[in-house]
Chain A
Amino acid sequence: GAVVSQHPSRVICKSGTSVKIECRSLDFQATTMFWYRQFPKQSLMLMATSNEGSKATYEQGVEKDKFLINHASLTLSTLTVTSAHPEDSSFYICSAAGDSYNEQFFGPGTRLTVL
């Protein structure tokens, strides 16, 4: 099956710093990648959709300048949380879709804690 990795798996940072999370599709080319945010005991909330070489499309209410997404290649997308604050602490999950656009393969998630 298709494998998606995320790095780091968990990160702790101080308020005001920026954090970059990488999402890689290991064995397929991801035409589209998605970034989700999940709070404890809640569902996944889509933050943005990114296509390789294009600007990301953000969902309503998601700050573009705070959550910077770059989809530089067909196997790599990055999410940078800029000037992180404690309320940004969450579980961030990426997914990747290849030729079968409907099917998304999810990464293991990144736990961000902002002190």
Chain B
Amino acid sequence: QQQVKQSPQSLIVQKGGISIINCAYENTAFDYFPWYQQFPGKGPALLIAIRPDVSEKKEGRFTISFNKSAKQFSLHIMDSQPGDSATYFCAASSGISGTYKYIFGTGTRLKVLA
């Protein structure tokens, strides 16, 4: 119940295309859903995050869509660029236990072709 399932494992997109990464969870206590971008040898960097009281959040070329009833959320990268080539992780956390630990998805390796 603590798992966050992420798909696809890898993704190849043409420059200018839309990259879509999906995550699903079981624990209804999760109340914060961030997406992180990680380049090789670097720490993850927060891209965008959403809480379950909204169904969509957009920041620049990045959009999170959230479906509370389906317990799914996704990251859309519009106008994908070669510089977006990285590994993307979704995560979920809950404040109920007081620790706000992140449960990470397994990651998606995105490659954007020039």
Binding site for B on A (CB under 8 A): 4, 6, 32, 34, 41-44, 46, 49, 57, 91, 93, 97, 101-109, 111
In the complex, whether B42 has a CB less than 8 A from a CB of chain A is: yes
A46, B95: Cα distance in complex, Å: 16
- In the complex, the answer to whether B106 meets A49 with C-beta atoms within 8 Å is no
With an 8 Å Cβ cutoff, the count of chain B residues facing the other chain is 23
**Which of A43, A46, A111 is B105 in contact with, Cβ under 8 Å?**
A43
A43, B105: Cα distance in complex, Å: 7
**Which of B43, B101, B102, B107 is A108 in contact with, Cβ under 8 Å?**
B43
- In the complex, the answer to whether A93 meets B44 with C-beta atoms within 8 Å is yes
Give the dominant DSSP class at A's interface.
strand
- In the complex, the answer to whether A34 meets B36 with C-beta atoms within 8 Å is no
For the complex formed, measure the closest distance between the CB of B46 and the CB atoms of chain A, giving whole angstroms. 7
